[in-house]
Structure 1
């Protein structure tokens, strides 16, 4: 039986009321879900930036091209994964959201993990890693280490955008995606 999948438009409609929440007054607060609803891998990033908002797609521009290269290292393509960008209030300065802001966003991501039900969740960067693993430990200590969150295997890695500016993160990220490819092959 095929897994149920909530189309992006339906998710966007259900999130509209969230835009009127006082926590996100004047902030970007949008969820993206795009890709294969049968995917073994769900990639969870942060809330989309301005280009994503304008184009209505996650991971466009330089970070998107780099993500495509990383997926190829794991012998994957965008058609093989589901990208679920986390809702995140993004005030000026992009500071970490308050606990009550994260809590307000949780149901939307929880719904996506239930409908996609992947074998692995790959978290990109600090925010999504802390969000999924419910931890205060940062990505610098957690990247490349398989963890468990409920029934899901979680694989935290650096965000592709950060790796564009930091060579050490780029090397680590490429090694982590190669490891992801091996993990997927072992579980096939």
Structure 2
């Protein structure tokens, strides 16, 4: 049965959207914050992407796509773990990467900041590490949320703040970490996860 939901756009508006989508000289993205849609000149968008990807502190140019190599290494590790009865068949089949593809890099414009830099995002859909990341998040998230230092959002902070007046000489500050995820050292990040796990 065909969907009879009425279109909330006029024919002219629908035609304008199709016209924008067909253009190859612009990029349409949602803003990093809020519900705003941003239309960018493609050259400007690509220049910002190149600026970020050229930062060798966080990114390294490769001569070839390592996706297949990653998939093979993950499968071998899972094979070894399964043979040692460290994981069952369900976990093995869930985490084993099949028909993997590389992550897709894109930017969300930060229209609230001067120069409108982009927030780098790497879509991991289909990546060899996608299911493993989801598996780790599933098991770690409940314990991380129980840490005394955990703050989900502003509302969570307000709920944790004493309703009475704060002590004298209390100083409230905010911090913004540049390139948060690319600044987390891998070894220290793994060790932090181990510490949380060992607290269980």
TM-score normalised by L of structure 2: 0.25
Larger Rg: 2
Q: Which has the higher contact order (CA 8 A, sep 6+)?
A: 1
